[in-house]
Amino acid sequence: MKLELLKGEKKIKYFSKPVFLIKFARQTTLMRSKEDLFQLIQAMSKSEKRYFVLDAKKAGRTDSRYLNLFDAINEMEEYDEQPLKQRFAANLSSDKAYLYEAILRSMRDYRSQSSKAAQVKERLMDARFLYERGLYDQSTERISEAKAMASELEDQFTLLEINREEQVSLFDRRAKVQLEHIEKLNEERERTLKAIDEELRYLDLYYRLLLELYKDFNPDEQKDVVLKKSLPIELLDESNFPSSIQAQRRYYQCQYVYYNMLGDLTNEYFYSKKAVEWWDNHPVLKEEEFHRYVNNVSNLVNTCYKMESKINEAHSWFERLKNEKSGNSIHNQAVVFRYLALSKLLYHLNKNEFKEASKLLPDIIDGINKFGLKKNLVLVLAANIVTVYFLIEDYENCIEWVDKITKSMKSSGRLDIHRVARIYKVISLYELDEFEKMELEIRAANRYFKINKTEKEAIEEIVLNVYLRDIFDVPVSAYKKAVRNLINYLTEIKSIPHKEGMLGVDEFLIWANSKIR
């Protein structure tokens, strides 16, 4: 099975120690892991890092230790605290906590330059400050600006907050208050609450559908029957089409996931396209949340790739995204790359065009380096790169990319990726006649299985410790029989409902059949 994605963020004025000491207790609660700061720095784009460094330098020479710490961590391929302890001594823990907060403060300021949502929050903070100082007219003006921007963004939650601000301070503004003022605010609040309720109902359905997507259906029942028993599918009836803007987007997403589960490609394509068109009809929102727009485009592309008649449309979206005005920034270009590089790769993998898939790898790896994703690589993309190398029998590169996954990438809930990757490495070492390393890797894989409580009946456990062990150890005369035993086991697994698509099964079968041939 190939890994498919269903898709269904103030300037630093001072680095002074006294400020840190006051805030230390609160800050340390945010640093739950020793690697939090490392992960934060690696997740930043080059322009964000440049902004932070220039901003931090305004504090003067006394703050150079924090920038030195930033540089030291930024240069690391993998996080290693020991050299940091030697260089920064006893203050390392507190310096890390302070630097973590300093980066986030800087990034809030960085984002406020281009994010209207951030600007709305800033105007609300300004309004409260002005209100506390008795500058009621100025406060009212700031609230009006925030309200106009929040309305443009269809941000009902912020509009509700603004409504409360207006109402609680109505009599303190020393303005003449009429009954109609209160009634108008009440009407606005009712409309906002209705829109919020509608949006949340579809948001809830969307995530419930995603959860159902990964459950095993009873083969004796129709999927639509199962879903209607457990979920409010009536919300997807055309007669219940929502009136609020954000709820409409969620409606299209719900329909997309629903028909994806039913295997209805026609409607899956229709609603994935409707979700994309929603963004085109709301350009301000598209610019503000470009990554979510690309997410929906990726869903549409993946659906097009399943339909032979839509292949050219899928390819056209790659060019269209390159020309999007909102996609000009390096960050947004990286978002496009992450989603669509994987889509291209999956298209060829799902058609068993392994050589064609391998031709994409140089450009994909160049993109990883160009966008600074080498240290913060998406797990599923890395796993598919490993799969391509394994299937084309490029075992050296397969091992190199397995190591990238196992040494520096967390599971993100995908323990199956880590388990299968380790088996890829074992087989690769076997193919390269690296038998001592292979034995070490088998032991390492079993340690990983034990630590992560892999069941003894798990496919990876059985493949590694029963069938591959047998293949590796039997005399030449019994070799083909051992390989056929693995093929028979995997074929049986594929015949079991809801297990035929389990990760690694197809790939192990391809390898085993190549041994027989």
pLDDT > 70: percent of the chain: 86
Span 310-336, mean pLDDT?
Answer: 81
Sorted by sequence, the CB contacts under 8 Å of residue 200 that are 6+ apart come out as none
* Predicted pLDDT of residue 57: 80
505 has a pLDDT exceeding 80 = yes
CA distances from 91 to 22, 97, 238 (A): 16, 10, 61
12 has a pLDDT exceeding 50 = no
* Predicted pLDDT of residue 415: 87
The per-residue DSSP string of 82-96 comes to HHHHHHHGGGHHHHH
Pairwise pLDDT comparison (376 vs 113), residue with the higher score: 113
23 has a pLDDT exceeding 50 = no
User: Where does the pLDDT of residue 174 fall: very low under 50, low under 70, confident under 90, or very high at 90 and above?
Assistant: low
26 has a pLDDT exceeding 90 = no
Question: Per mean pLDDT, which range of 5-19, 32-46, 239-253, 318-332 is the poorest?
Answer: 5-19
d(CA 101, CA 30): 9
Span 281-286, mean pLDDT?
Answer: 93
Shortest CA distance to 99 belongs to which of 65, 140, 75? 65
Contact 261, 209 (CB under 8 A): yes
Output the pTM of the full model: 0.74
d(CA 364, CA 346): 13
User: Where does the pLDDT of residue 292 fall: very low under 50, low under 70, confident under 90, or very high at 90 and above?
Assistant: very high
Which one-letter DSSP state was computed for residue 243?
A: S
Q: What is the mean pLDDT of the chain?
A: 84
* Predicted pLDDT of residue 411: 60
pLDDT > 90: percent of the chain: 48
Domains of the chain, residue spans:
17-112, 116-177, 377-517
User: pLDDT (tens digit, 9 = 90+) per residue, 50-107?
Assistant: 889 888 887 654 457 788 899 999 988 778 888 888 888 777 888 898 899 999 999 9
Span 297-317, mean pLDDT?
Answer: 91
User: pLDDT (tens digit, 9 = 90+) per residue, 217-271?
Assistant: 444 457 778 788 889 999 999 999 999 999 999 999 999 999 998 889 999 999 9
Q: What angle do CA 365, 366, 372 make, to 5 degrees?
A: 90
Span 367-384, mean pLDDT?
Answer: 74
Span 99-127, mean pLDDT?
Answer: 90
d(CA 223, CA 204): 19
213 has a pLDDT exceeding 60 = yes
d(CA 393, CA 387): 10
User: Where does the pLDDT of residue 408 fall: very low under 50, low under 70, confident under 90, or very high at 90 and above?
Assistant: confident
d(CA 193, CA 187): 10
385 has a pLDDT exceeding 90 = yes
Of 6-20, 169-183, 215-229, 270-284, where does the model show the most confidence? 270-284
* Predicted pLDDT of residue 110: 87
* Predicted pLDDT of residue 61: 46
Contact 213, 6 (CB under 8 A): yes
| Count of other CB atoms within 10 angstroms of residue 81 | 16
User: Where does the pLDDT of residue 413 fall: very low under 50, low under 70, confident under 90, or very high at 90 and above?
Assistant: low
